[in-house]
Structure 1
Amino acid sequence: MRSIWKGAITFGLVNVPVKVYTATEDHDVALHQVHDEDGGRIKYQRRCDVCGRIVPYEHIDKAYDDGEQTVVITADDLKALPAERSREIDVVEFVPNDQLDPIMFERSYYLEPDGSSSKAYALLRETLESTDRTAIVRFALRQKTRLGALRVRDNVLMLQSLLWDDEVREADFPALNEKVKISDRELELSAALVESFAADFEPEKFTDDYQVQLKALIEDKLAHGDVLETARTLGEGDEGQAGGEVLDLMEALQRSVERSRAGKKKSAARSNRKDASSA
């Protein structure tokens, strides 16, 4: 695994340097869109509504629209925000483990001790375990201030980003307010049905049947020659590209290289002119 972020857990005067890793991964088979008539790739281009040109990533900013006016926010504007510059996972409070509602959990990250000593990391981990508490923290990641839960999983500190309270919707359904009478016999039979399915949860017993069947379908088509040559599905000049997004990225990289080279040539020319004039 490769760390996506480095920082430190802070609470009181304690500072715990850590590396952050994404704890989950997606194993879905990657599919792209093609034209049903000829199998040609369908591309998505970032085209400017004003000038009509396709815009590379390096010239794309973010903006806020209030309905009448638009505020453009550059990458430098975002980097200047204090919260974005922070590299601290700041502990706000320690709460009982059972007080966290699972609906608030968003993404999960593993934390690895960073530095010459892991004593502070081990101390925090064992403290959380012995007190049955979860640390509620604040941190900034990917241009967003986040609330998080810091807990222990299999001897590793895990950080789980949490939804803010106002991001969890209320389940206000009229049917829930209707008075329903349930007899003792119905409840007894329902409980018996639950008991007949009772088991300990073992996640390794379950597989994504859809992905298994999709892979089998792809392998069957490959085996029977029901395929197109990839080069035929790409537009002119697109061989080896994986679609519009990759093409645009490569274009942006190429332009960046050309701009850098042009800048170096201009700098060298100015230097030569200065040398000539001083001589």
Structure 2
Amino acid sequence: MRSIWKGALTFGLVNVPVKVYSAVEDHDVPLHQVHDEDGGRIRYQRTCEVCGKVIAYSDIDRAYVDDGQTIVLTKDDLASLPAEKSREIDVVEFVPTEQIDLLTLDKPYYLEPDSKSPKAYVLLRKTLEQTDRTAVVRFTLRQKTRLAALRVRGDVLVLQTLLWSDEVREAAFPALDEDVKISKKELEMSAALVESYSSDFDPEEFVDEYQKELRTLIDAKIEAGEGFDVSETFGDEAKAEKGGEVIDLMEALRASVERTKAARTGGGKTAAKDADDDADGEADDKKSASKPKKTTAKKKAG
């Protein structure tokens, strides 16, 4: 594992240097979209709804819609905010573990001692174990202030971010306001059913059946030689959509640069128009060169 953050746990005069690691990872088989006819990769672009141009990341700002108005926040606006850059995980309080609502638990992180001696780290871990307390802490990750629970898992301290109180919805269901009567016999039968299913939880006994079957399906297709050659379906140059514009991002950026240069060198609108015409001509040439091959991409030999 690679640490994503370094800092120090602080409470009172105690300072515990730590490294932070993500404690979980996604096991889903990664899938992407392709054209059902030839297996060509489908990609998405950042297109402006006003001018229709493809926009580079460097030219994108953020915005908020309020009462019918779009409020644009520039990079300088966001940079002016008092973003926290502290490298400390400050303990706010120690609370009984049962007071942490499981519904508020979010992403977990492992903490590794980051000093020559782990004594302070082990002392804090044993203190939490003996007192059956969880530390509520504040820290900053990726410029956002976060609330988290610091608890013990085995020999390791775990930092688990918490949702803010206003992020948890209130459950208000009218049906639960009714006075429902449960007989003693019904409760006994329900308890007996629970007892028949009782066991000790072992997470390793459970697997994601969908992902397992998906991997089996992919392997079977590979064995049957049903794959396309990646060089043909993930070409360097994006193909033109049927009846649409060329979607090659690099080509669009190149044309924009040439148009800007032409305008700056004194050619004015005429030079800019010539640059546009040249770009359109090259785009038409690419369309002609790419049509009208309706044959599908070659499949691998089985």
Q: 1:72 — aligned with what?
A: 73
How has the CA–CA distance of structure 1 residues 79 and 137 changed in structure 2, closer, same or farther, with 3 Å as cutoff? farther
Contact 1:79 1:85 in 2 (8 A): no
Q: 1:182 — aligned with what?
A: 182
How has the CA–CA distance of structure 1 residues 128 and 139 changed in structure 2, closer, same or farther, with 3 Å as cutoff? same
Matched AA of 2:18: V
Matches within 5 A, 1:115-194: 115-194=115-194
Q: 2:91 — aligned with what?
A: 91
Using the TM superposition, name which of 161-170 and 227-236 deviates more: 227-236
Matches within 5 A, 1:215-254: 215-235=215-235, 237=237
Q: SS of the counterpart of 2:214?
A: helix
**Deviation, structure 1 residue 13:** 1.5
Matched AA of 1:70: I
Using the TM superposition, name which of 220-229 and 27-36 deviates more: 220-229
Contact 1:78 1:143 in 2 (8 A): no
**Deviation, structure 1 residue 118:** 1.9
- With structure 1 as the length reference, what TM-score do the two structures score? 0.80
Q: Find the aligned partners of 2:79 and 2:128 in 1 and give their Cα distance.
A: 33
**Deviation, structure 1 residue 172:** 0.8
Q: SS of the counterpart of 1:215?
A: helix
2:63 matches 1:63: yes
Structure whose alpha-carbon radius of gyration is higher: 2
Query: Over the residues paired in the alignment, what is the CA RMSD in angstroms?
Result: 2.3
Q: 2:207 — aligned with what?
A: 207
2:53 matches 1:53: yes
Matched AA of 2:175: A
Matched AA of 2:73: V
**Deviation, structure 1 residue 63:** 3.2
Matched AA of 2:226: D
Q: Find the aligned partners of 2:89 and 2:18 in 1 and give their Cα distance.
A: 9
Contact 2:61 2:72 in 1 (8 A): no
Q: 2:15 — aligned with what?
A: 15
Q: SS of the counterpart of 1:19?
A: strand
Q: Find the aligned partners of 1:197 and 1:172 in 2 and give their Cα distance.
A: 30
**Deviation, structure 1 residue 58:** 3.5
Q: 1:100 — aligned with what?
A: 100
Identity, in percent, stands at 65
Q: SS of the counterpart of 1:221?
A: helix
Q: SS of the counterpart of 1:152?
A: strand
Deviation digits for residues 224-245 of structure 1 (CA, Å, limit 9, x no counterpart): 1222222332355269xxxxxx
Aligned residues: 243
Deviation digits for residues 135-164 of structure 1 (CA, Å, limit 9, x no counterpart): 001111123211100011111111000001
Contact 1:9 1:91 in 2 (8 A): yes
How has the CA–CA distance of structure 1 residues 171 and 158 changed in structure 2, closer, same or farther, with 3 Å as cutoff? same
How has the CA–CA distance of structure 1 residues 25 and 130 changed in structure 2, closer, same or farther, with 3 Å as cutoff? same
Matched AA of 1:68: Q
**Deviation, structure 1 residue 61:** 3.5
Matched AA of 2:189: L
Q: Find the aligned partners of 2:126 and 2:58 in 1 and give their Cα distance.
A: 46
Q: 2:285 — aligned with what?
A: none
Deviation digits for residues 165-187 of structure 1 (CA, Å, limit 9, x no counterpart): 11111111111112222222211
Deviation digits for residues 100-158 of structure 1 (CA, Å, limit 9, x no counterpart): 11100000000111123322212211111111111001111123211100011111111
How has the CA–CA distance of structure 1 residues 64 and 87 changed in structure 2, closer, same or farther, with 3 Å as cutoff? farther
Q: SS of the counterpart of 1:85?
A: coil
Q: 1:274 — aligned with what?
A: none
- With structure 2 as the length reference, what TM-score do the two structures score? 0.74
Using the TM superposition, name which of 192-201 and 169-178 deviates more: 169-178
